[in-house]
């Protein structure tokens, strides 16, 4: 502040220096008439150095183009301007503490420009600068919380495979994309053989660990980032294979079956083996084939039923044409 501008006995310099936000008053030529202590603390420029200077000269190259454009508009059109911290990231070189190096991080802030007429200078613009650090911190916390909740919704809490909700949404998207682009889409339905017997023999905590191990083996076998494994329900899982032909899907299904067998996870009550095994059903939407998403999923489920009916620990295929059309 420059007390002489407001009269030596004026209380305004003391008041402006005490407020918890930045106050700048500029004339029609964008030269500084008022500069409070908050700005000195957060940019290192005192009032004596700022008064009479243009803001571009005071801040140097640190002023963003959006700030300069907003100031020109406020002075020329006599309309208020708001630069939010969301749309305008740190338009001025302001810092939580006086910067000690060129690499110091800027303090998030929001700016309001209000055109006004102030005697004796005439047309002026009052610039208010507020610290947005807390708001930005809250936004980051909320964003992290939202991302965590989103991951929890998308991910099965036990196995860390994708959830049924994720599958329902992702499958519809991939099916629509395959039909629109005329590409293939394959599904693999998976069931852990005699898993109820496993829980009865070893207990549910052991069953949980077995499912976790199965998912790790399945996930490690899926090499493409586009291939997604989801827990469909209980001991059933489903794999979405975008742009995957029938023969490739069958080969991947066999690799998945072998990967689980290679765990050699004990299962005395299996009925077909002394270790955990899986049955798999495969179906493929061929290029430009006409069927619905429900029919493709139904065909994969029919194939899984066939695999379970014919001895388990094997892979079977059914065409979407084999599935009944939805009513």
pLDDT band at residue 322 under the 50/70/90 scheme: confident
User: Residue 190 phi/psi, 5° resolution?
Assistant: -130, 140
- DSSP, collapsed to helix, strand or coil, labels residue 71 as helix
Dump pLDDT digits (tens) for 200-252. 999 999 999 999 999 999 999 999 999 999 999 999 999 999 999 999 999 99
Dump pLDDT digits (tens) for 91-106. 999 998 765 555 678 8
Integer-rounded Cα Rg, in Å, for the chain is: 33
The whole-chain average pLDDT of the chain stands at 90
User: What is the rounded CA–CA span in Å between residue 103 and residue 95?
Assistant: 11
CATH of range 155-322; options 2.30.40.10, 3.40.50.1860, 3.30.70.270, 2.30.30.40? 3.30.70.270
| Long-range contacts from 198-206, C-beta under 8 angstroms, 24+ separation | 198/267, 198/269, 198/270, 198/276, 200/269, 201/267, 201/268, 201/269
- DSSP, collapsed to helix, strand or coil, labels residue 172 as helix
DSSP string, 176-234: HHHHHHT--EEEEEEEETTHHHHHHHH-HHHHHHHHHHHHHHHHHH--STT-EEEEEET
Name the nearest CA neighbour of 67 among 103, 31, 110, 22: 110
Tokens of 156: 């099965």
Q: What is the mean pLDDT of residues 25-50?
A: 93
Q: How many Cβ atoms sit within 10 Å of the Cβ of residue 278?
A: 27
Which of 63-67, 99-103, 144-148, 276-280 reaches the highest mean pLDDT?
Answer: 276-280
Domain spans of the chain?
Answer: 3-137, 155-322
Question: Would you state the pLDDT for residue 101?
Answer: 57
Q: What is the mean pLDDT of residues 296-300?
A: 97
Q: 3-137 adopts what CATH topology?
A: Beta-Lactamase (3.30.450)
Which neighbouring-strand residues pair with 190?
A: 237, 280
Catalytically active residues are: 235
Q: What is the mean pLDDT of residues 150-177?
A: 90
Q: What percent of the chain has pLDDT over 90?
A: 72
H-helix segments, the chain: 3-6, 12-18, 37-43, 47-50, 55-59, 65-77, 133-154, 164-181, 195-202, 204-221, 246-261, 293-309
Which of 7-11, 82-86, 129-133, 207-211 has the weakest average pLDDT?
7-11
């Amino acid at each position: 502040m420059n007390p002489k501008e407001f009269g030596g006995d004026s209380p305004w310099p003391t008041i402006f220096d005490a407020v918890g936000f930045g106050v700048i008053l500029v004339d029609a030529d964008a030269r500084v008439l008022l500069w409070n202590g908050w700005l000195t603390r957060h940019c290192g420029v005192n009032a004596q150095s700022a008064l009479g200077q243009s803001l571009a000269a005071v801040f140097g190259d640190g002023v963003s183009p959006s700030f300069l454009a907003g100031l020109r508009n406020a002075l020329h059109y006599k309309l208020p301007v708001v630069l939010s911290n969301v749309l305008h990231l740190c338009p001025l070189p302001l810092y939580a503490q006086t910067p000690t190096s060129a690499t110091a991080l800027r303090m998030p802030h929001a700016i309001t420009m209000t055109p006004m007429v102030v005697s004796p200078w005439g047309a002026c613009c009052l610039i208010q600068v507020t610290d947005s650090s807390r708001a930005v911190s809250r936004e980051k916390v909320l964003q992290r919380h939202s991302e965590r909740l989103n991951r929890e919704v998308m991910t099965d809490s036990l196995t860390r495979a994708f959830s049924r909700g994720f599958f329902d949404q992702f499958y519809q998207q991939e099916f629509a994309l395959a039909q629109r682009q005329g590409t293939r889409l394959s599904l693999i339905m998976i069931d852990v053989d005699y898993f109820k017997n496993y829980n009865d023999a070893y207990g549910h905590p052991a069953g949980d660990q077995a499912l976790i191990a199965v998912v790790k083996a399945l996930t490690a076998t899926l090499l493409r980032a586009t291939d997604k494994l989801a827990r469909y329900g209980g001991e059933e899982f489903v794999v979405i294979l975008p742009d995957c032909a029938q023969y490739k899907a069958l080969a991947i299904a066999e690799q998945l079956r072998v990967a689980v067998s290679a765990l050699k996870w004990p299962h005395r009550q299996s009925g077909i083996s002394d270790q955990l095994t899986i049955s798999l059903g495969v179906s493929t939407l061929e290029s430009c084939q006409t069927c619905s998403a429900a029919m493709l999923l139904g065909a994969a489920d029919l194939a899984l039923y066939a695999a379970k009916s014919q001895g388990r620990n094997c892979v079977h295929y059914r065409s979407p044409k084999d599935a009944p059309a939805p009513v």
